[in-house]
Amino acid sequence: MTTESDTMQWSVAEMLTLFDVSRTDGHGFVGATGLVGDDDRQVVEGTQVLAQAIVAAAKRFEGKSVRSAHAVFVRAVMVGAPVEFDLDVVHEGRSTATVIVTAKQSGKRCVTVTILADVPSDDVIRHHAPRPDVGSPADANVASMPLTGRELRLVGVRDVDSPDEVGPPELHAWLHYDPIPTRDDLAKALLAHFTGHLAISTTMRAHAGIGTSQAHHTVSTAPMTVTVSFHEPVTWDGWLLYTHESTQVGAGMSYVRGTVHTERGELIASFTQEGLIRPLRRIDATIEVRSRL
């Protein structure tokens, strides 16, 4: 993601500042939307709002740790006006807490996020799914997804957007961030931010003649829900491996599940995404590409 000019580009540090929402005079929070992307689209990434909601909940429940978040994207957030986060606390106990975060822009509800927080305890039992054996980041293909401080490499895929690069509906992506946040809430926000980036591409990869390069031009695509679960502790250094597996697509929606492992093999998060993949409606032709969901 880049800014409006070719001489200025988003950085991981700036993104973390964007995630770090501020308290308002009441019980809510407010966050900025950022700047226009390199494709001149005016739509804010849904997982950016998800990341901000995670930070808002963490600030509300001091002493607890955000364990999971389920976001439903109901209306596009546009670059410009700030996003207001209203928090409806469903339950706040000694061990767990639940809040529904509603993200609004210009008075309209755009995203709802249900968040579970808890106080982590000692293990009774422990196991986790092993990291897929897909080789090291050095063996993967460098991919272009501009963000200063973020490096992306794809395993066995050269152009993730191409309708001509066909394979099984799975995708392994190595990511490296600099800086890596030390705050728990910002680390989780950063992990959640990437969960919506490659899921629809993963689904399309199994079908010849269709790819995300066609999105918003000949086919309508959008993430509709993202659920992410954080497995304590959420700490890492070096590279992260995001694994995506599309288990179903049809009737205009796709379903993708994924995991996030550290380079050493620890499982630190799991996620799912429901994505919209539908024919572009004729009425959408009157809407500028940069403003389509």
Q: What are the tens digits of pLDDT across the range 250-269?
A: 999 999 999 999 999 999 99
- Report the alpha-carbon angle 278-246-110, nearest 5: 55
Q: What are phi and psi of 92, to 5 degrees?
A: -145, 100
Could you tell me the two tokens for 170? Answer: 């799975």
Could you tell me the two tokens for 26? Answer: 């009441």
Mean per-residue pLDDT of the chain: 90
Q: Which residues contact 176 (CB under 8 A, 6 or more apart)?
A: 137, 150, 151, 238, 239, 240
Q: Which residue has the tokens 């179903």?
A: 248
Question: Which of 13, 26, 8, 29 is CA-nearest to residue 82?
Answer: 29
Question: Which of 18, 46, 83 is CA-nearest to residue 226?
Answer: 46
The conformational region for residue 250 under phi > 0 = left, psi -120 to 50 = alpha, else beta, is left
* Measured distance between the N- and C-terminal CA atoms of the chain, rounded to whole angstroms: 16
pLDDT for 162: 86
Average pLDDT over residues 190-199: 96
* Per-residue H/E/C for 162-205: CCCCCCCCEEEEEEEECCCCCCHHHHHHHHHHHHHCCHHHHHHC
Residues making up the chain, counted from first to last = 293
* CA–CA gap between residue 290 and residue 293 (Å, rounded): 9
Cβ pair 76, 105 in contact under 8 A: no
pLDDT for 185: 97
pLDDT for 51: 98
* pLDDT range class, residue 4, cuts 50, 70, 90: very low
SS3 call for 59: helix
How do 65-73 and 150-154 pair as beta strands?
Answer: unpaired
Cβ pair 255, 246 in contact under 8 A: yes
pLDDT for 189: 98
Higher pLDDT, 93 or 164: 93
What count of other Cβ atoms lies within 10 Å of the Cβ of residue 175?
Answer: 20
pLDDT for 26: 75
Q: What are phi and psi of 47, to 5 degrees?
A: -75, -15
pLDDT for 282: 62
**The model's pTM:** 0.91
pLDDT for 100: 98
How do 83-92 and 141-143 pair as beta strands?
Answer: unpaired
* pLDDT range class, residue 287, cuts 50, 70, 90: very low
Q: Which residue has the tokens 């001489």?
A: 7
The string of pLDDT tens digits covering residues 37-74 is 555 568 999 999 999 999 999 999 999 999 999 999 99
Q: What are phi and psi of 286, to 5 degrees?
A: -85, -10
Could you tell me the two tokens for 56? Answer: 């808002």
Task: Give percent of the chain above pLDDT 90.
Answer: 77
Average pLDDT over residues 187-192: 98
Question: Which of 121, 190, 199, 218 is CA-nearest to residue 160?
Answer: 199
Question: Is residue 102 pLDDT above 50, yes or no?
Answer: yes
User: Among the listed ranges 18-22, 126-130, 277-281, which one has the minimum average pLDDT value?
Assistant: 277-281
* CA–CA gap between residue 106 and residue 109 (Å, rounded): 9
Question: Is residue 176 pLDDT above 70, yes or no?
Answer: yes
Could you tell me the two tokens for 182? Answer: 């030390």
